[in-house]
């Protein structure tokens, strides 16, 4: 029978990544949507880099940075006892960077699409920016939030390059489904590879279908 | 009550404009900022609200200074006790009518104000509906009620009625006047509509290109000559017809159509769509009680 | 509308009413009654330049030289032009203060046999006269 380990690990990775990414992306998207800073185009570019860069490039630099042979990696290990390469935490960080634009972009365009008067009306009623964000802005961009969450989740499930570079292929630790498929093909276990592939295919299909059905074409707009 | 001296360089599609405005508004007054679009009316309102920061100047309301460039005072919008009604109403789509009002409550504020306001603007039936299911006029009433929850002393209205039809407008003007009086508000309205302005305001600031052209009572601003006639209404000319030796001019005043006899020299400069004042002496009209 | 300009020569006030006399020239004073007083209307000041307005339909015409009638304002004039309409006719009167236009029924014009060149008196009641700055 098939080994469920990679599937469970993949689900866990996608879940953890998505939750942390959501927490980080809300303030980042808020800043990108409303800031008039000169830094904004640079930050926007950095956020969107994973869309065009081969995952291996990101993975390679993360590997370099996190490696204990490097000063940053050594500092992390000495001070916090964290080792990010070939570990689950490293995978989470890599996946977050890789999926960042998929979460940030929909939220940013959702926030920017709201009329300015909505936030202003809240300020005039004496409410802080924080209260306004959580009570007025976010509840009115639920489709964008859902899109961000689903895309980040699905994208994490499907990633390969970054994971392979910094996670390696350690069963129960870093061996996610996409790696497992590669492994099985290498070992000429086509049936096993096919099972994993079909499961991934179905999950990806279901996830995207649900977004399309709920948001009625939002994704299409986003991809244009 | 409100003293403001505001300078700001505004940039828009039409180019750069220097806003240089001095306001001196008494407590309880209903003041209108009037003028062509791009004159700086809305910007002035936003500056008073703290949504826009002026380059120079001072704004004080009562004994409190809201803005003073030299003393580096600029209290945030949240701390300025104002009610602001936006042109697009800006109701929160995720909240019901009642929740929109409740959102505006301050900590420990008495909740009875919500029911009071809902009944003043007659929204009892609609209080659990979402804003998107309401008509424009109903949404505007919600926006007006919401602006009053914090019990502000100053009410700022940014062309609140421009999107409504004439029937609804006249009703909402009455609601606005009602709350203006009931809550002893000092109100600043931005409006283009001369009939509306004459009906509602005590004082007008006539703005053009960021400067005040004229300040005064509505009648003295909108008519070149002040008439002694007590019976005056502003209306739109909707028809001019010749009647052998004279003319009959039909004027729409609010929702009523009146006809006025005129001579040729009075109509030479008049065309359909012009605003006119229809005036008569207090001695001429007769009253007739309407039996229910 | 008939418009003449003059200056306020006298103001009589009683509660919220005022009787305003406006001297058009040395010989002609037109009186107007208003629901205003010098306190409520700043333009009510003796000596102040002001316009007197009244509608053509409010002008009464009589061929009598000294009519006994309860109308305060009387101006001697000569009929200059008559333009006949079916029901109403427009009569332009030449007077020493300028032209006055009257709109009267064509029927009464016939009845009084008013003709161009005839001397008449034009009259306007005090409550029909409006003042304008």
A173: domain CATH number? 1.10.3720.10
Distance from CA of B268 to the nearest CA of C (A): 13
Inter-chain residue contact B90 with A115, CB threshold 8 Å? yes
DSSP state letter for B292: -
The SS3 assignment for C83 reads strand
The SS3 assignment for B68 reads strand
Q: Count of alpha carbons within 13 Å of B13, Cβ hemisphere only? A: 2
What pLDDT shows up at residue B131?
93
Cβ atoms within 10 A of the Cβ of A20, count?
14
Angle at B29 between CA B25 and CA B31, to 5 degrees: 70
CATH superfamily for domain B2-222? P-loop containing nucleotide triphosphate hydrolases (3.40.50.300)
Task: Pick B231-280's CATH classification: 3.40.50, 2.40.128, 2.40.50, 1.10.3470.
Answer: 2.40.50
Chain B residue with CA closest to A123: the answer is B78
Q: Which residues contact C23 (CB under 8 A, 6 or more apart)?
A: C6, C7, C8, C9, C29
What pLDDT shows up at residue B229?
67
Q: Count of alpha carbons within 13 Å of A160, Cβ hemisphere only? A: 10
Provide the residue range defining the domain that includes A121: 5-223
Domains of chain C are 2-53+128-132 (2.40.50.100), 56-125 (2.40.50.100)
- Between these two residues, A76 and B264, which has the higher pLDDT value? B264
- B145/B161 Cα distance (integer angstroms): 15
Cβ atoms within 10 A of the Cβ of B4, count?
20
- Helix H, strand E, coil C: the string for chain A is CCCCHHHHHHHHHHHHHHHHHHHHHHHHHHHHHHCCCCCHHHHHHHHHHHHHCCHHHHHHHHHHHHCCCCHHHHHHHHHHCCCCCCCHHHHHHHHHHHHHHHHHHHHHHHHHHCCHHHHHHHHHCCCCHHHHHHHHHHHHHHHHHHHHHHHHHHHHHHCCHHHHHHHCCCCCCCCCHHHHHHHHHHCCCHHHHHHHHHHHHHHHHHHHHHHHHHHCCHHHHHHC
Q: Decide if A139 contacts A57 (C-beta within 8 A).
A: no
Using one digit for the tens of pLDDT, what is the confidence trace for B122-157? 889 999 999 999 988 899 999 999 999 998 989 999
C127 part of contact set with chain B, CB < 8 Å: yes
- The tokens describing A196, both together, are 């994993």
Neighbours of chain B (3+ CB pairs under 8 A): A, C
What pLDDT shows up at residue B122?
87
How many domains does the structure of chain A reveal? 1
Contacts of B103 in chain A (CB under 8 A): 122, 125, 127, 135-136
The H or E element that residue C110 is part of is helix C106-111
What pLDDT shows up at residue C83?
92
Using one digit for the tens of pLDDT, what is the confidence trace for A11-54? 888 899 999 999 999 999 999 999 888 999 999 999 988 888 88
Across the interface, of A124, A128, A140, the residue whose CB is closest to B82 is A124
- The tokens describing B169, both together, are 């407008």
Contacts of B78 in chain A (CB under 8 A): 123, 126-128
| pTM (2 d.p.) | 0.71
- B54/B64 Cα distance (integer angstroms): 17
Q: Which of A64, A95, A106, A60 is nearest to A176 (CA)?
A: A95
Q: Decide if B112 contacts B185 (C-beta within 8 A).
A: no
Contacts of B84 in chain A (CB under 8 A): 120-121, 124
Chain C residue with CA closest to B246: the answer is C90
C17 part of contact set with chain B, CB < 8 Å: no
Q: Decide if B61 contacts B15 (C-beta within 8 A).
A: no
Summarize the confidence of residues A96-115 as an average pLDDT.
92
Inter-chain residue contact C85 with B226, CB threshold 8 Å? no
The H or E element that residue B155 is part of is strand B154-158
ipTM: 0.80
pLDDT in single tens digits along all 133 residues of chain C: 899 999 999 999 988 889 999 999 888 999 999 888 888 777 888 999 999 999 999 999 999 988 899 999 999 999 999 999 889 999 999 999 999 999 999 999 999 999 999 999 999 999 999 888 7
Residue A144 sits at φ, ψ, to 5 deg, of -65, -40
Q: Decide if A56 contacts A62 (C-beta within 8 A).
A: no
Q: Mean pLDDT by 10-residue block, N- to C-terminus, for chain B (292 residues)?
A: 90 84 92 89 93 92 90 91 92 94 91 90 90 90 92 91 79 88 92 84 90 84 66 84 86 85 85 84 80 72
Residues 22-81 of C with CB under 8 A from B: 32-36, 41, 43, 51, 53, 55-57
C108 part of contact set with chain B, CB < 8 Å: no
Q: Decide if A32 contacts A44 (C-beta within 8 A).
A: yes
- The tokens describing B86, both together, are 């936006």
Which residues of chain B are in CATH 3.40.50.300 domains? Answer: 2-222
């Amino acid at each position: 029978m098939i080994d469920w380990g990679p599937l469970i690990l993949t689900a866990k990775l996608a879940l953890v990544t998505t939750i942390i990414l959501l927490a980080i992306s809300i303030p980042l998207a808020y800043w990108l949507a409303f800031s008039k800073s000169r830094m904004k185009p640079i930050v926007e570019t950095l956020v969107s880099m994973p869309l065009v860069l081969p995952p291996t490039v990101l993975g390679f630099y993360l590997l370099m940075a996190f490696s204990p042979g490097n000063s940053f990696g050594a500092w992390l290990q000495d001070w916090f006892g964290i080792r990010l390469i070939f570990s689950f935490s490293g995978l989470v960080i890599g996946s977050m960077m890789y999926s960042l634009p998929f979460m940030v972009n929909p939220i940013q365009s959702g926030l920017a699409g709201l009329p300015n008067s909505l936030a202003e009306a809240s300020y005039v009623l004496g409410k802080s920016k924080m209260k306004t964000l959580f009570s007025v802005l976010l509840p009115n961009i639920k489709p964008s939030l859902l899109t961000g969450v689903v895309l980040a989740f699905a994208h994490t499930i499907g990633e390969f390059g970054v994971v392979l570079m910094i996670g390696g292929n350690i069963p129960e630790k870093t061996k996610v489904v996409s790696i497992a498929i590669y492994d099985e093909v290498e070992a000429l276990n086509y049936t096993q590879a096919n099972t994993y592939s079909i499961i991934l295919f179905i999950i990806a299909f279901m996830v995207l279908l649900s977004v399309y059905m709920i948001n009625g074409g939002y994704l299409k707009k986003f991809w244009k | 009550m409100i003293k403001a001296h505001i300078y700001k360089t505004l940039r828009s599609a039409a180019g750069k404009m220097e806003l240089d405005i001095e306001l001196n508004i008494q407590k309880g007054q209903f003041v209108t900022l009037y003028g062509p679009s791009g004159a700086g009316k809305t910007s002035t309102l936003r500056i008073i609200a703290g949504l826009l920061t002026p380059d120079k100047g001072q704004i004080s309301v009562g004994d409190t200074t809201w803005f003073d460039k030299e003393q580096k005072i600029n209290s945030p919008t949240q701390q300025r006790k104002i009610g602001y009604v936006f042109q697009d109403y800006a109701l929160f789509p995720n909240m019901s009518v009642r929740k929109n009002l409740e959102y505006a409550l301050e900590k420990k504020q008495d909740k009875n104000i919500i029911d009071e306001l809902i009944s003043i603007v007659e929204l009892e039936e609609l209080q659990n509906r979402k804003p998107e299911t309401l008509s424009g006029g109903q949404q505007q009433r919600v926006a007006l009620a919401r602006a009053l929850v914090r019990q502000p002393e100053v009410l700022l209205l940014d062309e609140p009625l421009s999107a409504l039809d004439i029937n609804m407008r006249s009703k909402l003007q009455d609601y606005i006047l009602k709350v203006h009086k009931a809550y002893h508000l000092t109100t600043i309205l931005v409006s283009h509509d001369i009939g509306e302005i004459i009906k509602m305001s005590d004082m007008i600031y006539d703005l053009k290109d960021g400067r005040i052209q004229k300040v005064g009572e509505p009648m003295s601003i909108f008519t070149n000559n002040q008439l002694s006639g007590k019976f005056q209404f502003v209306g739109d000319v909707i028809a001019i017809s010749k009647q052998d030796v004279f003319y009959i001019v039909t004027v729409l005043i609010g929702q009523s159509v009146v006809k006025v006899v005129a001579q040729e020299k009075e109509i030479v400069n008049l065309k359909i769509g012009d605003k006119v004042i229809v005036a008569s002496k207090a001695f001429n009209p007769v009253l007739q009680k309407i039996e229910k | 509308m008939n418009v003449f300009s003059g200056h306020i020569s006298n103001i009589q006030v009683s509660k919220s009413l005022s009787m305003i006399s406006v001297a058009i020239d040395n010989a002609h004073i037109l009186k107007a009654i208003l629901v205003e007083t010098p306190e409520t209307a700043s333009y009510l000041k003796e000596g102040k330049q002001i316009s007197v307005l009244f509608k053509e339909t409010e002008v009464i015409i009589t061929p009598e030289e000294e009519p006994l009638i309860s109308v305060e304002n009387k101006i001697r004039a000569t009929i200059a032009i008559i333009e006949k309409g079916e029901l109403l006719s427009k009569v332009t009167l030449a007077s020493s203060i300028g032209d006055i236009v009257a709109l009267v029924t064509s029927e009464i014009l016939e009845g009084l046999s008013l003709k161009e060149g005839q001397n008449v008196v034009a009259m306007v009641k005090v409550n029909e006269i409006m003042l304008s700055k």
